[in-house]
Each structure stands twice: as C-alpha cells, then as structure tokens.
Chains A and B, each alone.
Chain A
Amino acid sequence: MKVEDVICPFCGCLCDDLVVEVEGERVIGVENGCTLAQEKFMGDHRLGHPIRRTGKEWTPVSYDEAIETAARVLLEADRPLLYGWSGTQGEAQSVGVHLAELLGAVIDNTSTVCHGPSIMAIQEVGHPGCTLGQVKNRADLLIYWGCNPIDAHPRHMSRYTTYADGFFLKDAFRDRKVIVVDIRETESSNIADEFIRIDPGGDYEVLSALRAIVRGKGALVPASVSGVSREQLFRVADLCKAARFGAIFFGLGLTMSPGKQKNIRNAIELTEELNRHTKFTISPMRGHWNVYGSNEVFTWISGYPYAVDFARGIAFYNPGETTAVDILKRGECDACLVVASDPGAHFPRDCCAHLASIPTIQIDPHVNATTHLSHLQIPVAVTGIDAEGTAYRMDGVPIRTRSLFPSRYPTDTEILERIYAIVAREKGP
C-alpha cells in the first residue's frame, strides 16, 4: 500500500510530500524523501519491550512494571530532571510539562544544546521571520550562515529556497543569489554565488562589519575582517541592499561558536537594519523535526521555551542555571527521565557520568548511546511512522504527522499519561 503526502519526522524541514510504501507493519519504500528520511523510515533498531538493568544484565519487564517503576523513581527524587522532547509529538510534550509541574521538576528540551542561544538573542531583540513559503515565493537573495543544509537539511534548498519555483520567481535557480558563510568549504558553499569564508570565531566581527556598512559607516571597516576582505564585505552588503526580499538562515555554526547568543543578536540586528532598505528575514535552521514544537508547547503552558524549573512551585527560567547540562554538571539532579532524545551521544562526559550514576529512565523507540547510561528503557511507537501527532516545522507551521500502520507499541503520550496518573494519585490535586 502506498501512502501519499506523508510527513517526514526527521529534520526541521518536516517535508510533507513523501510517498511511503507500507507492507503490514513495515515500510518497504520511500519516495521523495532524502537519504535521512529513507534511513528513518526503513531503519529498524527498535526494542521489542521495556528492559531494566540489574548490575550488568538487562532483563525484559512488562509495560505496567516499567511505568510503575518510572513513576516511583520520579516520586522519590528530590530534584528530577525531565529532558529531551524534540523527537516526540506535541501531545507528549504537553503531558511532560504538566508532569514536571506536578513533580516540581526541571524540564528542558534539546534546544538547550542547539538553538538555546538563538532563543536568548530573540528574547533580547526579537525576531523578524516568516514562513518558508514567503522565502520560496519571494526571496531573490539567500544567505546560509554557519549551516550546511545539503548535509543536515537535504531538501531545504529544493523545497523552500534555492531550487524551489516561487510565485514571483519563475526561474528560481537563475533569479536567486545564494551566499554561504562558513569557516570551511562545504557541499553548500560549493553551489553558492558568493562564499564568505571567515576565520573560526570571526562571525561576530563579520556581522558587525556588515552592519556598519549597511548603516553607512563603511569607512570604519578595515581591509580585512576575520579573514574576509573589505571588498567582499562591501559587495555582499550591496547585494543585500539591492535584493527585493532577502532571507538569512543560520545554524549551529553561529549559535555554538564563540559569541553564541551575541552572534545571533548581531545577525538579527543586521536583519533589522536591512529592513530599513528592503525586506529581510532571518530564520534558525532547527534540527530535530519537533524541537521547535517543544519550545512552543513549553511556552504556552509554562511561559518559557526551555529550561523550566518548577521546584519553587512557580515556573522559573534561567538558562545557565536551569539548563540540563548545568544541572547535570553540578551533579544536582537525582533522577532523570529522558524522552525522545539522546543526551548520551551529545552531552559532555561528566554530565553523562552523572546520568549513569542516578536512576535514568529513557522513553525511546530505539537503543542509542543513552540506553547504556540508563536503568530502564521503555520503547514506544514512532510518531510519524506508527503514531500520529502534532509537530512544528522550523518556521512555526504546525503539521499533524500520520500513522502508517497500527502500532504494537504505546505512544509516548500514553506512557507519560500513565506515569502522570500515578504521580497525580500520590500528590493529589
């Protein structure tokens, strides 16, 4: 059976035009998807049932027992941490926030280690953005800064930007200019009309120089800024001002390099400056398919997009203090629930060591690096493959993912609701 218009639950592009061939409870073919999508739909490293570690051994346990254990661990902890959430449905994220509230726990999502700095910059200066279709239909100038979409978001350029025909650009590829800014050549920089190669750590300076030029203070700019020549900077500033609609996309190369949120703030202020001349927008390239959804859900329930600490009864937010890495580094939390993410593969070593030393429970369909630090893993259905649920694309457009076949597994939402019910029974309203 072929299912059309399937939504890909892999990256923040959330492409919704896949054609997936299903046979029983298995995907046997994927059309339109990139290689990452193929891997996600066809891959099969799923656990058959919950497993618990005793010493060096893993033993299978029932869902009832696993859920009861998870609830107990969380109830007994003084400072539980609920982490992850970018790879699951909005419905589960919502239960997660309410669970954290009830427990007085800290809840954080994976943006803490990707676009957390972008969020902090937005909280300082705002965010002139738009949906991806605005870019597709209008943009004649694209800037990819500190990201490599061809590898990380393989269909970004074909669906939304460089190669996508738009209403106002019939021959998009010829009518658009593409600028790539990075510290090294990448697949993406190879197709750029203009490649700005900057010295590592030089983003802030280059952004400042561009701002100065756009503002009419170009005389201040020296012959070379962080490895970029003055001529190139002027050329690029002119390209930006001459564009009818410019769109900047930025990635971890900007958020996680020296300067962090200051880089993003500078990039947003450059965008704002350019709006005095023409139309310009800026957008973060969100990685996981629903990491932006976790920011949205956290915000409408708690008021903050990530790193929310309910220990005081209210929602308290202070990145650097209430962020998962900081809490783990300080050895502060005494139990952790990891949902739909893999901190074991991405967190600093001492954080992982602390995770291994406390009861860590993972809710995830797959075995991954975090499994090896955990005491209990509860496998679940995969949203977008055998469970449906809400996801937010990198530009904030919410989409409902599909379930392609009936699942043998419960969803994240079901597991979390059952844990919540036990905790609520103990804690009372």
Chain B
Amino acid sequence: MTELLIRNAYVIDPINDIRGEIMDIPIREGKIVEEVSDRAPVIDAEGYLTLPGGIDSHSHVCGTKVNFGRYMSPEDMRAGRTARKGRMHVTSGYSVPTTFGNSYRYSAMGYTMVLEGAMAPLEARHTHEEFTATPHQDMMANTLFDGNWSIMEAVLDKDVKRAAAVVAWILNAVKGFAIKLTNPGGTEAWGWGEDLAGIHDEVPHFGVTPAEIIGTMIRANELLHLPHSVHLHCNNLGVPGNHRTTLETIALAPDLNPKRQSLYLTHVQFHSYGGTTWRDIDSRSEEVTKAVNAKPQVVMDMGQIMFGRTTTMTADGPMEFKLYMLHHNKWSNHDVELETGSGIIPVYYTRKSLVNCIMWAIGLELALLTKNPWQCILATDNPNGAPFVKYPEIIALLMSKKFREQEGALLDPRTEHHVPLFAIDRELDWYEIAVMTRAAQAKALGIQDLGRGHLAPGALADVAIYPMKTDQLDPATQFQQVIAGFARTRYTIKRGRVVARDGEVVVDGANSTIWVRPKVPPEYDLSRDPEFVKKFEQYYTVRMRNYPVQDTYLPRGICIETEADL
C-alpha cells in the first residue's frame, strides 16, 4: 500500500470551491483519501501554493505533424538539447521538443495531463506510439472530422444520427477522445488547393457548408454523450476581418448540456481580427468576449502568442500555405485521404511587426475581458502561438498591469491605436489563474468526474506544489517571482508519486491514455453497414480491418464508455 501525506499545503482547488486554505492532502494508491496511516511518508509543503496538476486542453505534442515539425527542423532541435541525466533521457528541441522533452518540461511546470489537439484518424497509431513515449502526463487525442467524407455525406442528408454513428465508429477505432473540427470543410477544399471564405460557403463537390457541419456535429456529440464538447478551430484562421466568422460561429452554439459548454473554441486569438488586410488589422477582442460573456455554452482558449521563434502546425492546410506566402521560410503540407490535412511552417513573432504586437495584445485581452474565468482557458495552442514553456510569463502578464505596461513599452508604438489592452486595469488573482490552468480544463473536457482537475477525496492524486507563498508575494509588482515560481514546481506529483522535484524528473513514469467508446445500437454499427464498408474499401488505401488501432498501443488505456441516444 503506497501512501503519501502532503502537509501544510496552501490549497486552491476551484472545482471544490477551495479558495486558499492551509490543508493536508492524504494520498493512498494514487488517489486522494480522507486520511493515511502514520507510516505514510510526508512532504512538507511549507505553506506553498498547491494546486491540482495542470491540464493542457489544447496542445500539439504527439503525432504525424508534430513529428514532421521535428523532422524538418534540425535548427529547432539544436536549440533545446539536454543530456542524459539520472532518469532523464536525452532531449532535443525548443518549439517542438522530442516526446521526452515535452514530458519533462510539462512536469517541471506541474502539468499532469495534456490533450493532443489534432489526430488524423488514419494516422492515429502514430499519435498513440508517441503518447507511450510521453511518460509523465496522461494523454487524450482530439480526433479530426473536419473534412471527413462520411460526415459530410451525413450532413448533406441532414442525418444527425448517421453522423453520430460515423463518429462512434471512428472514435472507437482510433481510440480518440473528442471531436475536433479544424477549418471544417476548408481542409477538404484544400485537397484542390482552395479554401472557404466563410461558414456559409459550400465545400466543393460535397454541397455542405461549415455551419451545417458544425451544427450537425454539435448535436451528434450530445447524442453520443461524449465527455467533451465539439472542439472547434474556426474557419478563416489568421485572416483580417475574421472576427465576423467567429461571431457567426459563436451564435451557432445551442444550449444542449447543463454540465458543460456545447462548443469549445480553440486559439481564439487567431480568430479575433478586424480590418480587411494586414495593413488595417485591429483587435476585436471586445466584440468576441462580449459574445462569449453572453453565451455560457461556449468555452474558449486564448491561443496567446509570445515573441520569439516557434513552429506553427495545424490541420488547417490552406492557412499554412497562406502563412508560408508571407514568411517564405519553409513549408510542409500533408493531406490525409478522406479525412483532413495539415501544414507546418516555422515562424518568428517579433516586436518589430505591428501585426505580431496586435496579436500578442489580443490574446491577453481575451482573458482579461472574459468575465468568467471558466470560459477562457490559458493556452498558446502550443507550439503555434508559443511553446508551452511560456505559460508562466503569460500568467504573470495576466496578474500584473505593470508587467503589461513594461512589455507594452517595447512594442511597435502604433500598437496602442489598434488594441484596447492598455486601457484594461484588471489583474487576475491566484484563484482565477488556478481556474484557467486546470479546473476549467477539467470541466470543459468533462473529466472532473474521472477525478481530474481537483483534490477532493476520490480524485486522482495529481498535485503541483509551487515554491510561492501567496501572502508574501504581490504579483502586481513581483511578476518575475511569479514567472520563476510557475516555471518550476517544488514537487510535481502524478498519481500519488513525486515525478519531478525542483524541475528535475526523478522517475521513469508511465502514463495513461484516456479515450472514449460510445456504444451505439446495432443498426448504427457502421462496421455492418454495407455502403460504409464498400466506400471504405474503394477509396481508402488501407483495408478496413487494418485501420483500427490495436489495444497494444494503449498499454494503460482508460476507456470512458458512453451510451448513445440513437
């Protein structure tokens, strides 16, 4: 029986409405319990800020395009090399680290769960292989349906149940967690080198629009009772004037689930631009947050960008080509038959670029103008806006107006005419940061009932103890200490075991992968549907039998079963 007692922790646990109390946290067999024996080893938290383990609800860390980001970028690999040390493997990479590099860096920051933002079903096996080499975080995979032919056919037939059946079959086959739509319809158009300009444009050859795909998928998602909602990367990413598309999309979200949002919008910073060209682009964070504030059925993450080098990677192939035409560095693209696509380019966000300065401001504005912190999650769309190691800096910016002004002074001086940021006085507090970095994620992903994202007895013992005493630290002025404090936990505890101490990983680790199996009635089981099977065999290049990911790729899989209403 393994036990552990964390003593004298200053706990903020938003899901249980604990807003800063000195407490003990008893742990047995990887779970939080009421009490432990007096033989339990003790960690003295010394009154340090103690939170549930961090959860990243949108990050690109594993899979085909992530690995291609590494493959094509030896310069990035050189930038983050660490040697083998104790239990720690060699790591390489700054913006797209190796799997162990990602895992260790997340651990150092107190993160214990990560959702991979985009997995192409056909190539799912690859994502799962990399998951098993990301030892210290439990992993989940958003599964791409944006250009799925069977989905678009069901949408054309206005057959929500069939769309749900397709989702059920694919999630089960590829061991995915949630529905991801990336530029819905646009990735199929990119199969012909085209894109869509709005959510009412028709997808070439398929006769459906993004709005119809999104609407159908939201309803299919709820029919299947999936833990998470539809996870949407809106159309028109990175296009001046795209806030209109975003507002139209927010308006689509119905009220279907009392427990959580019915639509999750990712990296909204990239979708909140006014203007008509790069010359007159401005921030529309006020309009977007106004819509979100009025719509509790929507949760978003920021997609904050931070200055410096990074690699962009997304299933949004056409967007990456447009971005490449601006940057002219290098460009990779990888379209996936019948399903989706992807693109990768390196970028450098610079304070010398007015556009980049505006982008930087918009992300912060989204967080500061959203009234309810549960509706705005802190993320960079790692590594698109910035590598996740920048999270502590983002936290400090949100907690300190002074820090924002200090950074603002380094920007292109025209920035202030295009953004409202410097007129916003709000400074987030420790509780709000705890919501935006773990509790809101657990709730939005629908995994709090699995004991994730909180510290009540019965929950998984994922705990982060940061070397900061909130009563001795004024984040408004001592932002450098906040950055240092969130960058390295004193202890990161995963499933009741100390995995990292003072930034160093101390055990080998073995994660779990959480996936979802919606159970559907036999008449909706597509493996018995002759038309589906025939199409599969005709147009895919792998046989249907060779498509599903075998259990051996998930040595510690955790399956959430749901009963579909079909």
Binding site for B on A (CB under 8 A): 4-5, 7, 16-17, 90, 94, 98, 101-102, 119, 122-134, 136-138, 159-160, 165-168, 244-245, 272, 275, 278-279, 281, 295-296, 299-305, 310, 312-315, 317, 390, 392, 396-400, 429
Cβ-closest chain B residue relative to A244? B192
Q: Given contacts A317-B74, A400-B550, list 7 more A-B pairs with CB under 8 A.
A: A126-B72, A129-B334, A130-B334, A278-B193, A300-B99, A300-B133, A313-B83
Beta-carbon contact of B543 and A5 below 8 Å:
yes
B86 at the interface (CB under 8 A from A): yes
Give CA–CA (A398, B549) in the complex, Å: 10
Query: CA of A314 to CA of B87 in the docked complex: distance in angstroms?
Result: 14
In Å, the complex CA distance between A165 and B98 comes to: 39
Tell whether B165 is near chain A: CB-to-CB under 8 Å. no
A244-B192, A317-B77 known; A397-B67 Cβ under 8 A: no
Per-residue interface assignment for chain B, residues 521 to 560, with 1 indicating a CB less than 8 Å from any chain A CB and 0 otherwise:
0000000000000000011111101100010000000000
A398 touches B70 (CB 8 A): no
Listed stretches B36-44, B119-127, B413-421, B482-490; interface member: B119-127
**What residue of chain B has the Cβ atom nearest to residue A159's Cβ?**
B541
Query: For A126, A127, A133, A134, which residue has the most chain B Cβ atoms within 10 angstroms?
Result: A126
Q: Interface 1/0s, chain B 87-124, versus A by CB < 8 A?
A: 10111110001111100000000000000000000110
Known contacts A167-B539, A313-B84, A314-B90, A127 near B332 by CB under 8 Å: yes
**CB of B70 to closest CB in A, whole Å:** 5
Q: Which residues of A contact B338 (CB under 8 A)?
A: 133, 137
Assembly CA distance A122 to B331 (angstroms): 9
Which B residues fall within an 8 A CB radius of A?
62, 64, 67-68, 70-74, 77, 81-84, 86-87, 89-93, 97-101, 122-123, 125-126, 129-130, 133, 149, 190-193, 205, 321, 324, 330-338, 341, 344-345, 538-543, 545-546, 550
Give A363 to B524 CA distance when docked, in angstroms. Answer: 48
| Contact of B193 with A275 in the complex, beta carbons under 8 Å | yes
Centre residue among A272, A278, A303, A397 by max chain B CB count within 10 A: A303
**In the bound complex, do residue A123 and residue B540 qualify as a contact, i.e. CB atoms below 8 Å apart?**
no
Nearest CB of chain A from residue B179's CB, rounded to whole Å: 21
Q: Which residue of A lies closest to B341 (CB)?
A: A130
Contact across chains for B337 and A272 when beta carbons are under 8 A apart? no
Top 8 A-B pairs, shortest CB-CB distance: A133-B337, A303-B92, A313-B83, A279-B193, A303-B77, A126-B330, A130-B335, A398-B125
Are A17 and B83 closer than 8 Å at their CB atoms? no
Smallest beta-carbon distance B71→chain A, Å? 5
Find chain A residues with CB under 8 A from B83 CB.
Answer: 312-314
- B71 lies within 8 A of A295 (CB): yes
Chain B CB count within 10 A is highest, among A124, A299, A301, for A299
- Which of A90, A123, A281, A398 is within 8 Å of B123, CB to CB? A398
Determine if A314 and B82 form an interchain contact, defined as CB atoms under 8 angstroms apart: yes
Q: Which residues of B contact A134 (CB under 8 A)?
A: 191, 335-337
Contact B72 A300 (CB under 8 A): no
Residues of B within 8 A of A132 (CB): 337, 541
A396 touching B130 in the complex, CB below 8 Å, given contacts A101-B89, A134-B336, A303-B92: no
Find chain A residues with CB under 8 A from B133 CB: 94, 300-301
A168 to chain B: closest residue by CB: B205
| Majority DSSP secondary structure for residues of A touching B | mixed
Residue on B nearest A274 in the bound complex, by CB = B193
Give complex CA distance A122, B69 in Å: 11
Pairwise interchain contact A279-B90, C-beta atoms closer than 8 A: no
User: Knowing A123-B72, A301-B98 touch, does A279 contact B191 (C-beta < 8 A)?
Assistant: yes
CB distance A300 to B67 under 8 Å? yes
Task: With both chains docked as a complex, state the minimum distance between the C-beta of B265 and any C-beta of chain A, in angstroms.
Answer: 28
**In the complex, are the beta carbons of A390 and B542 less than 8 A apart?**
no
Q: By the criterion CB–CB under 8 Å, are B100 and A400 in contact?
A: no
Q: Is the CB of B541 within 8 A of A131?
A: yes
Whether B541 and A133, one on each chain, are in contact in the complex, defined by CB atoms closer than 8 angstroms, is yes
Q: List 18 A-B contacts (CB under 8 A).
A: A16-B546, A90-B129, A125-B330, A127-B334, A128-B331, A133-B336, A167-B149, A167-B539, A168-B205, A244-B192, A279-B191, A279-B192, A296-B126, A299-B67, A300-B133, A301-B133, A303-B74, A310-B84
A278 to B192, CA, bound (A): 7
In the assembled complex, the Cα of A206 lies from the Cα of B500 at a distance in Å of: 56
In the assembled complex, the CB of B344 is this many whole angstroms from the nearest CB of chain A, namely 7
Tell me how far the C-beta of B125 lies from the nearest C-beta in chain A, rounded to whole angstroms.
4
Inter-chain CA distance A188–B307, complex, in Å, is 51
Contact present for B193 and A299 (CB under 8 Å): no
Q: Are A396 and B334 in contact (CB under 8 A)?
A: yes
Indicate if the CB atoms of A299 and B334 lie closer than 8 Å: no
Q: Could you say which residues of chain B place their CB within 8 Å of the CB of A125?
A: 330-331
Enumerate chain B residues within 8 angstroms of A398, measured Cβ to Cβ.
123, 125-126, 129
- Cα-based distance from A272 to B328 in the complex (angstroms): 11
Known: A126-B345, A279-B193, A400-B125. A299 touches B70 (CB 8 A): yes
Q: State the Cβ distance, B174 to closest chain A Cβ, in Å.
A: 11
Q: Identify which of B71, B84, B337, B543 contacts A101 (C-beta below 8 A).
A: B84
Give Cα distance in the complex from A317 to B71, angstroms.
12
Chain B residues with CB under 8 Å of A305's CB are: 71
Chain A neighbourhood of B101, CB < 8 A: 303
A220–B331 Cα gap in the complex (Å)? 27
Query: Of B97, B125, B539, which contacts A133 at CB under 8 A?
Result: B539
- Other-chain contact of A127, B70, B72, B205, B341 (Cβ < 8 Å): B72
Closest A residue to B97 using CB positions: A303
Contact of A396 with B545 at beta-carbon distance under 8 Å, contacts A131-B337, A301-B100 already known: no
Evaluate contact between B543 and A16: CB separation under 8 angstroms.
yes
B345 to A, closest residue via Cβ: A126
Q: Are B540 and A315 in contact (CB under 8 A)?
A: no
Q: Inside 8 A of A4's CB, which chain B residues have their CB?
A: 545
A5 contacts B89, C-beta separation under 8 Å: no
Chain A residues near B64: list those with CB within 8 A: 396
Partner of A165, one of B336, B344, B538: B538
Q: Complex formed: what's the CA distance from A160 to B541 in Å?
A: 7
Give the distance to chain A from B81, nearest Cβ to Cβ, in Å.
4
B81: A residues at CB distance < 8 A: 303, 314-315
Q: Bound state CA distance, A168 and B82, in angstroms?
A: 49
Cβ of A303 and Cβ of B123 under 8 Å apart? no
Name the residue on B nearest A16 (C-beta): B546
A165 to B537, CA, bound (A): 12
- CB-defined contacts of B345 to chain A, threshold 8 Å: 126
By a CB distance below 8 angstroms, the chain B residues around A126 are 72, 324, 330-333, 344-345
Residues of A within 8 A of B546 (CB): 5, 7, 16, 399-400
Nearest CB of chain B from residue A426's CB, rounded to whole Å? 15
Which of B90, B321, B338 has the most C-beta atoms of chain A within 10 angstroms of its own C-beta?
Answer: B90
Q: How far is the CA of A121 from the CA of B95 in the complex (A)?
A: 21
With a cutoff of 8 Å between Cβ atoms, the chain A residues found around residue B91 in the complex are 303
Do residues B330 and A124 form an inter-chain contact, with CB atoms below 8 A? Answer: yes
Q: A136's closest neighbor in chain B, by CB? A: B541
Nearest-Cβ distance from residue A265 to partner chain B, whole angstroms: 10
CB distance from B407 to the nearest CB of A (A): 31
